[in-house]
Amino acid sequence: MASVIKQATNVCLNSNGSLGIDQACLSIINKYKQNLTFYSTFSECRLCHGIPTTNLSAESNTTLLVSTKYPLHMYYMTNLEWCHTTYVFKEHGSYGWNLSAKELCSDIYVINEPSDAYFPLLAALVILIMLIIVIQTGKVILRAIKYYFERDTTYIHDDLTRLQESESPVQPIMNITRLSTRIQSVDTFRGIAILLMIFVNNGGGEYVFFNHSAWFGLTVADLVLPWFAWIMGLTIAISKRAELRNTSSRSKIILRNFARSLVLIVLGLMINSQKSKYLEDLRFPGVLQLLAISYFVCTVIETIFMKSHLQFGRFFILGDILENWIQWLIILSIVTAHTLITFLLPVANCPKGYLGPGGYDTFKKYINCTGGAAGYIDRYVFGNHMYAQTQNPVYGVILRHDPEGIMNTLSAIFIVYLGIHAGKILLYYYQCSSKILRWLLWSLITGIIAGFLCNFSKEDGIVPLSKKMMTISFVLTTCSFAFLLFAILYYLIDYKQFWTGTPFVYAGANSIFLYIGHSVTMGLFPWSWKENDQTHSTQLVINLWTTALWLLIAHLLYKKDIVITV
């Protein structure tokens, strides 16, 4: 289990050695007069046996390099398993553990205090808050100075000018641009998603919670793709209705949507080709491919069945649902098909409904069942043309499974349509309170259903939370947060106008361009660079710089009224 713990022949035993990110040292003193076998596994590993890590020689001191990403479960074995314990090691700390028959199961103790791995994150947050305060204060001062000088300025007009103004008053001209007609809260939401995506895709400072979960659970990084799909759905509801009003041909709308989806798929394949040497191993699925297919399916459904005029009858309070019952029937049929395939499709030597990663999971009983039905379908359809990562940091070696595969694309269609429904609420109801109340209700309902499905935990319940599998509980959880976040943004930006959405609104206006741009330039100077001594501090600075540079590019495009769309 090399990713968890290994012999420390250099760093921990060398006084001049330097520990890397998420590393600590553990010295195990074996006082037994016999050799012992030391076992370990991350506690994150559900129902996992300990993995033989090293042999502890009789009456010896063995020093190991330990990963601090997750709490570590450890024990040793003579004829029996002894001293099962789980310990939270902290970065750059040095620890000791004495194994003795006389002092059975002694506590792990600290030899050298660990460093504060989260201090760089706290420092970055404080600097960001101070920067915001300085900028906002500067704006207030500039407005005050401008008002002071304008107040004492006297404009002198001749009699002819005054006469002309009195007879033909000139109305001020409103400057209408492409960006002035956009909904600020929508671009702000999309900007938050894309900037967060750029940050985590570049490493997120190498913090665990800014990286995707190993298999089960939910991290900040797991939110970005569902949020991007959700807000894409919201814009579909707005744009397709506008297109329908401007043209009577639904077939033309579908053809345009097909062309756009095809372009996104080609762009996605181009991005994938950066990591493939040969056509034989080119990955077919991907983020843009998933978005393109889910976008096309939902736009076709909406274009065919969307009504050109809203007609609410007796059940006005449920009008947004009842007016679109055909679309809901189709979407729920897709969700039902996804569920039936997941839980009923037979996979050789695997239990039906298995949603785990295989590998060490479930005591290695289903080592070749990675992804259950979804993984089986992807491997059967794509073969080598899929995500090639088979080394999981928690579950060891697993089979290929694509997080943007066929079954996950079906889940994405559901996410996009929930976004479409959020957009219909925006269009159908005039009072802001009605809109916000419905978004909050949808947030509550989807959250409760997700909680019941996963038993309000990350690994339990009928359908556990898993981004890798994009399970229904994961879909509903992320959409619950999306409904909540958008309700807050709409209230602050479009209703009360407490905030303009700056700076996220800049990135939201050109989100696809930023995604493609950061994918192509990832790891390239000046967006990024390599450091010999990698720490959370250096990685956080680099990743924040990458994100800030793309935000600056988005700001320049915004100020020039440039919107790059596909």
Find residue 60's DSSP bridge partners: 30
Question: Is the CATH number 2.60.40 carried by domain 11-112?
Answer: yes
Contact between 207 and 520 (Cβ < 8 Å) = no
Series of mean pLDDT values for 10-residue runs along the chain (566 residues): 53 78 93 92 89 91 93 89 91 93 87 92 92 86 82 49 46 52 90 96 93 94 96 93 78 92 96 88 94 96 81 64 89 97 94 94 92 96 92 93 96 97 90 93 97 92 94 97 97 92 94 94 92 88 96 95 87
DSSP letter, residue 103:
S
Q: Which residue among 73, 84, 157, 212 is the active-site one? A: 212
Instruction: Specify the 3-state DSSP secondary structure of 552.
Output: helix
Question: Do the Cβ atoms of 215 and 225 come closer than 8 Å?
Answer: no
Cα–Cα distance between 541 and 414 in angstroms, integer? 37
**Annotation marks residue 73 as catalytic:** no
Q: Round to whole Å and give the CA distance between 264 and 295.
A: 10
Amino acid letter, residue 72: L
| Helix H or strand E encompassing 300 | helix 287-305
Spatial neighbors of 491 by CB under 8 A, at least 6 apart, are 432, 436
**pTM, full prediction:** 0.91
Q: Is 29 helix (H, G, I), strand (E, B) or coil?
A: strand
* Residue that is written with structure tokens 């913090």 in the block: 207
What was the pLDDT predicted at 403? Answer: 94
Q: Are 23 and 66 contacting, i.e. CB atoms less than 8 angstroms apart?
A: yes
Which sequence spans correspond to the domains of the chain? 11-112, 184-560
* pLDDT for position 318: 72
